[in-house]
Amino acid sequence: MTAPVPLSQLPVHVWTTPSTVQCGFPSPAEDHAQKRLDLNELLINQPDATFFMRVRGPSMRDAGIDDGDYVVIDRSIEAKHGQVVLAVVDGEFTIKRLFRRAGRVKLQAANPTFSDIEFRDGQELTIWGVVTWTLKGLLPA
């Protein structure tokens, strides 16, 4: 896996409306209200500590993170039990859910066909950052 790439500090603006969208019957209210939305404001809390990476593989599919998605990673957040993290295990990047309880630390996949990563003496684990967003395309690549 390649190294994370820092997000640009330049604003990226797209159009948005002030209302939410129903996944049922459409609402005719606010049909024409629009404003600009800065994706950096939405996705980034700490610009100097925020990176994105492209996901490869299905090990986190049940957490809604699929092959080809992009993830936003914030290095300024202290990782806690249950959070999805970007970890470095023996020099290799991986995205997994952090399990940290009763002195035990392991990385859990969100796909039952993948085993948890449990650590043996001499193995190196670094929690590189916490995954804060998943960006997913809906059109075929």
Residues 101-110: tens digit of each pLDDT: 998 999 999 9
Q: Are 86 and 72 in contact (CB under 8 A)?
A: no
Q: Is 19 one of the catalytic residues? A: no
Torsion, Cα 23 68 91 116, to 10 degrees, reads: 50
> Encoding tokens for residue 96?
């997994």
pLDDT of 39-62, one tens digit each? 888 888 888 888 888 999 999 999
| pLDDT confidence tier of residue 94, bands split at 50, 70 and 90 | very high
The catalytically annotated residue of 8, 19, 27, 59 is 59
pLDDT reported for residue 97: 98
pLDDT reported for residue 52: 85
pTM (two decimals): 0.75
| CA–CA distance, 45 with 38 (Å, rounded to integer) | 12
pLDDT of 33-43, one tens digit each? 667 778 888 88
Q: Are 87 and 78 in contact (CB under 8 A)?
A: no
Q: Is 96 one of the catalytic residues? A: yes
The catalytically annotated residue of 19, 76, 96, 115 is 96
